[in-house]
Amino acid sequence: MRNAFIRSLTALAQQDERVVLLTGDLGYKIFDEFAERFPGRFLNAGVAEANMTGVAAGLALGGLRPFTYSIVPFATLRCFEQIRNDICYNNAGVTIVGVGGGYSYGPNGPSHHGLEDIAVMRALPNMTVVCPGDPVEAELAVLASASHRGAIYLRLGRAGDPVVHLQPPQFRIGQAITLRQGTDCALISTGGMLPVAVAAADLLEAEGISSRVVSMHTVKPLDQTTLRGCCLECRAMFTLEEHSMIGGLGAAVSEWLAANDLRCRLRCFGTADRFMHCSGSQAYLRQRDGLAAEQIAAEVSSWLKEHRRC
């Protein structure tokens, strides 16, 4: 997703001279082309995320369209109050790009894991939260951000995320993408869990279970139309996210169900409420949290068997 992001941003900068890119000293070599083509619009703001975020708010209020870039916790948590007060409170049009959602930077340890970002970004007024499911969605999300008013948190994976969409889907912020129809269950994923959702759906299909697969790339605002369809037409909904069970997609869908007095079975897959002290790759750490396709398919299958009568 990282490479798709910078490719797309370079194309966007070509069309829109307001686009400015600030990085918190991350992205070695990947911004070279951008910096060469738009030298006045690329800035390494250094390891000073609070200042970078405040500067971005100032640039936006001064008529530009800044993007800030860093690894998820540094882009969001380190400078959280700058995002809240400088960007959101002033309603400044900044796109905050967090690279390394979930366990993308697995071996780097919990300091680099991005597992609370959706929760905190979602709580902010004037903030839109977009977590593309694959590089194709990432590319489209960057282009869509150009015509969006207000702040966006764009949560990316890293380099080498698998491509899910073989054809570019129609992409609109706030509008989920349904990749596969089904009625036994709805697998609603956000961010880099999309390929896992598709793989789990394949495994379930082999068992005769039909899955609706939805990429809920925008966690805020939720696509209520798509959710309502899942709720009314599927036996159960399962949310999939590489993020804490607290405050992320699963929590957002739970809140939505409760607020709308809708009855639908919902089970949330996410990361546990603890720091992952052991080292490990993204694949390994996902497995520790039960987020591998096989684990999810097995859980969904047994859950559906247990709740056959509902």
- Should residue 21 be labelled a site residue for another protein when binding is judged by CB under 8 A? no
- Number of neighbouring beta carbons within 10 Å of residue 163: 12
- Should residue 89 be labelled a site residue for another protein when binding is judged by CB under 8 A? yes
- Should residue 39 be labelled a site residue for another protein when binding is judged by CB under 8 A? no
Q: Which is nearer to another protein, 150 or 174 (CB)?
A: 150
DSSP symbols for 211-237: EEEEE--EEES--HHHHHHHHHHSSEE
- Should residue 183 be labelled a site residue for another protein when binding is judged by CB under 8 A? no
- Should residue 77 be labelled a site residue for another protein when binding is judged by CB under 8 A? no
- Should residue 30 be labelled a site residue for another protein when binding is judged by CB under 8 A? no
Coil vs helix vs strand at 44: strand
Bridge partner list, 129: 153, 220
d(CA 153, CA 139) in angstroms, rounded, equals 14
Nearest by Cα to 156 from 131, 128, 186, 187:
131
Q: Which is nearer to another protein, 50 or 199 (CB)?
A: 50
- Should residue 70 be labelled a site residue for another protein when binding is judged by CB under 8 A? no
100: left (phi over 0), alpha (psi -120 to 50) or beta: left
Q: Least distance in Å: CB of 115 to another protein?
A: 25
- Should residue 40 be labelled a site residue for another protein when binding is judged by CB under 8 A? yes
Q: Least distance in Å: CB of 18 to another protein?
A: 9
Q: Which is nearer to another protein, 20 or 234 (CB)?
A: 20
Report CA 296 to chain centroid distance, whole Å. 19
Active site residues: 49
Helix (H) or strand (E) holding 20: strand 19-23
- Should residue 196 be labelled a site residue for another protein when binding is judged by CB under 8 A? no
Q: Judged by CB under 8 A, which of 63, 206, 263, 278 binds another protein?
A: 63
DSSP state of 260: T
d(CA 28, CA 44) in angstroms, rounded, equals 10
- Contact set with another protein (CB under 8 A): 20, 40-41, 45-46, 48, 50-64, 66, 81-82, 85-86, 89-91
